[in-house]
Each structure stands twice: as structure tokens, then as C-alpha cells.
């Protein structure tokens, strides 16, 4: 029992930096998600995630989870937050959901936070509402931006400009990642490319976060504007044309592309 209140249930998932379990708040009899990180983990992200989540929630964000509890339990650091119904990984991508995702990013971006790891598993849905989770890689947009020279986030969904490198992260990169999700869920393009990408998972003297790693170079070519727009329907094609060229997004323009 964590904090004399939370019982741990079944394992829900294992990621690169930790694991997530279901749980129950035994006092309120409410389901919770319990994210755990080993105290010996070489890269620790939970404290950063909690800082970001508390900052967002204290400033009125309701598209991100509140922190129910954070602390140490046995050999782990634990974050306890609400348990959502399912992720976008398990849902059909519709124009309405796309608009809700743009709205959620607008809330977070207006509070000067960049998520930096937008992918289906990090977009949750409960009672028809969209929530963003997993802010371990997030950063403040207002902090001095350093040019990117390493991969950050998922290779499949990372913005084209992250693969290119040489520029600081920006709001456009979260929005572009969201566009790739729509492309992946509504066409076969990225699915086919993903199968080819396995050919590039060869033994080379480069870390997979190195932008010159063959798999990152492969995804960069895949995500060039001419390629993603050739495979997109009209709303998404216009979305990519707008996002690839923007510096400061107009979220209303993007939302109207999918719900005119």
C-alpha cells in the first residue's frame, strides 16, 4: 500500500524510463494510474514531469492530469494520477478528435510548455475528452532554446525538424507530431514506412539518438514535406503546409481545417 492509501494493481505498460500500473485509491474507491521509476534509473524523468504537471494544473490546465501523490516507495519513485479510459493508440482518429488534440496543445502551449513527445500513447481519452500525459521530456518554451543535435521523443512521431537538427524545439514540432498521428491512423503511409525502417536497425557505431543514425535519416526522408503531403487528404495536406512553415501558430486556423 503506497502512502497508506493506494493499492497497486496490474501492470499496464513498460516504457524506456519506467513502468505504469493500475491502482485504487482505497479511501475514495477511485481508480488511479501509478507511474514508477527505479531509484537506480540512469535517466530520471519523474521529478521533471511532476514539476511540469503541477505548474500546468496550478495555472488552470484541465487537459493534463493532476498529481495525486509523488514520493518514494520501496526502491522506486512513484507518481500517482488519474487513470484514463484508453489512449489514442486504441481509438479511431476522427476530425473531432484532431480538433480536441489541437485545443489541448493550445492550452499547454499558451502556458509556455512544449510536450516534446506527442504520440498516440500519450494522448488519453476519458468520457469523450482528450488529455495529454507523459511530460517527462517536456520543457518550458520560454527558456533559452538550444539547437537540437540529438533525437528526442519517438523516432516515428518526432517532427521532421528534430531529425534535421540545428534549431531549438518549438510549438510547431508538437503540432507536426500530431499531424503524423493523424497520417498514421488514417492512411497506410507511415505504417508501410515503419516496416521498411526495420532494415535500418543495423549495428553501427552510433547511438540511436544520433541524428546521423540510419534509422533517423530514414525517418527524416520519409517526413519531408513533399512526401507527407503527397499521401495526405486535403485537410491534413493544408495542415502540414501550414505547420512546416510557421513560427507562431494560429490554432483557430488549424482547427478550422478539420471542422470548417
Q: Return the pLDDT at 42.
A: 82
6-82 to CATH, choices 1.10.1520.10, 3.40.50.2020, 3.30.300.30, 3.30.200.20 = 3.30.200.20
Facing residues of 140 across strands?
A: 113
Q: Return the pLDDT at 128.
A: 86
Tens digits of pLDDT across the chain (260 residues): 999 999 999 999 987 778 999 999 999 999 999 999 998 888 889 999 999 999 999 999 999 999 999 999 999 999 999 999 899 999 999 999 999 999 999 999 999 999 999 999 999 999 889 999 999 999 998 766 667 788 988 989 999 999 999 888 999 999 999 999 999 999 887 777 776 666 656 555 567 788 888 888 889 999 999 999 988 888 999 999 999 998 889 999 999 999 97
CATH topology of domain 86-258: Transferase(Phosphotransferase); domain 1 (1.10.510)
- C-alpha pair distances (Å), 111 with each of 122, 132, 224: 19, 14, 30
Which value, to the nearest 10 degrees, does the dihedral of the CA atoms of residues 190, 180, 259, 88 take?
90
Q: Return the pLDDT at 218.
A: 87
Say how far apart CA 220 and CA 148 lie, in whole Å.
14
Q: Are the C-beta atoms of residues 99 and 258 closer than 8 Å to each other?
A: yes
Residue ranges of the domains in the chain? 6-82, 86-258
Say how far apart CA 123 and CA 150 lie, in whole Å.
24
Say how far apart CA 35 and CA 13 lie, in whole Å.
10
Q: Return the pLDDT at 166.
A: 84
Q: Return the pLDDT at 248.
A: 87
Answer whether 6-82 and 86-258 agree in fold. no
pTM for the structure as a whole: 0.93
Say how far apart CA 170 and CA 247 lie, in whole Å.
8
Amino acid at each position: 500500500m503506497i502512502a497508506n492509501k493506494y493499492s497497486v494493481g496490474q501492470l499496464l505498460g513498460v516504457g524506456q524510463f519506467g513502468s505504469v500500473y493500475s491502482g485504487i485509491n482505497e479511501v475514495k474507491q477511485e481508480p488511479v494510474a501509478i507511474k514508477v521509476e527505479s531509484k537506480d534509473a540512469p535517466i530520471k524523468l519523474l521529478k521533471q514531469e511532476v514539476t511540469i504537471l503541477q505548474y500546468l494544473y496550478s495555472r488552470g490546465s484541465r487537459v493534463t492530469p493532476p498529481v495525486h501523490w509523488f514520493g518514494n516507495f520501496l526502491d522506486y519513485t512513484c507518481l500517482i494520477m488519474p487513470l484514463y479510459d484508453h489512449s489514442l493508440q486504441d481509438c479511431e482518429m476522427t476530425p473531432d478528435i484532431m480538433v480536441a488534440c489541437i485545443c489541448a496543445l493550445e492550452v499547454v502551449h499558451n502556458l509556455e510548455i512544449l510536450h516534446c513527445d506527442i504520440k498516440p500513447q500519450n494522448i488519453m481519452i476519458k468520457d469523450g475528452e482528450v488529455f495529454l500525459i507523459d511530460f517527462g521530456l517536456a520543457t518550458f518554451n520560454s527558456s533559452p532554446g538550444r539547437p537540437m543535435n540529438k533525437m528526442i521523443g519517438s523516432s516515428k512521431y518526432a517532427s521532421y525538424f528534430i531529425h534535421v537538427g540545428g534549431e531549438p524545439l518549438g510549438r510547431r514540432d508538437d503540432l507536426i507530431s500530431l499531424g503524423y498521428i493523424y497520417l498514421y491512423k488514417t492512411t497506410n503511409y507511415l505504417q508501410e514506412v515503419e516496416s521498411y525502417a526495420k532494415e535500418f536497425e543495423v549495428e553501427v557505431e552510433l547511438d540511436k539518438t544520433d541524428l546521423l543514425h540510419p534509422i533517423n535519416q530514414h525517418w527524416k526522408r520519409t517526413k519531408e514535406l513533399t512526401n507527407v503531403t503527397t499521401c495526405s487528404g486535403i485537410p491534413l495536406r493544408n495542415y502540414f503546409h501550414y505547420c512546416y512553415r510557421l513560427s507562431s501558430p494560429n490554432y483557430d486556423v488549424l482547427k478550422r481545417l478539420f471542422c470548417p
